[in-house]
Amino acid sequence: KRDLLSNKEIIKKSMDIFNILKENSIYQNANNIMLFVNFKTEVSTREIIEDLLSQKKRVFIPLTVPETREIIVSELLDPKKDLILGNFNVLEPKEDAIRPVDPNILDLVIVPGVAFDKKGYRIGYGGGYYDRFLAKLPSHIPTISIAYELQLIDEVPIEPHDIPVQYIITENEFIEAKS
């Protein structure tokens, strides 16, 4: 469904999502934020990254390691200079811009996905990268998924290793997930 959105709709909905996100105290109080760099028709994260960097907050992005299906958390200092097309055609840090950090320093993680239910369960891209990552993340670190309303479904089929996010933000609402 997401792929049917026009560029104009993506920009508008992404801005609406960003506006709801930036009004939220979790976002406002976070200083070390990990988020994905969007690709294709995902919710745009460019404005979020620019906003965080302009506030002198630390921004971290995932670097996927296909061999182990793990995520390395890497600090992003300059989106224009630090990024290159990497695994799965997603922008990732260039080799000389990989700045790994301990995920325990994070105080907010913004998680991507394809579909979500209101319990916080998500369908990802099938690699299990985020499920592995979230399983190791201390539970006091808030997790938020940003998604278009059309990505919400009644129920995501869950498997034992699936880890729900705590909140979901769409262009219409802020959802506190109840798993």
pLDDT for the residue numbered 149: 97
Q: Which two tokens stand for residue 27?
A: 């976002």
Q: Candidates 3.40.50.10420, 3.40.50.10300, 2.30.130.10, 2.60.40.10; correct CATH number of 2-176?
A: 3.40.50.10420
Q: Where are the beta strands (DSSP E) in 90-176?
A: 91-93, 108-111, 115-116, 122-123, 143-146, 167-169, 174-176
Q: Where do the domains of the chain lie?
A: 2-176
pLDDT for the residue numbered 169: 98
Give, for all 179 residues of the chain, the pLDDT tens digit. 667 889 999 999 999 999 999 999 999 999 999 999 998 899 999 999 999 999 999 999 999 998 999 999 999 999 999 999 887 788 999 999 999 999 999 999 999 999 999 999 999 988 889 999 999 999 999 999 999 999 999 999 998 889 999 999 999 999 999 86
Tell me the HSE value of 159 on the side-chain side, using a 13 A CA sphere.
Answer: 7
pLDDT for the residue numbered 179: 65
pLDDT for the residue numbered 5: 87
pTM of the predicted structure, to 2 decimals: 0.94
CB 114 within 8 A of CB 125: yes
pLDDT for the residue numbered 151: 97
pLDDT for the residue numbered 88: 74
pLDDT for the residue numbered 135: 95
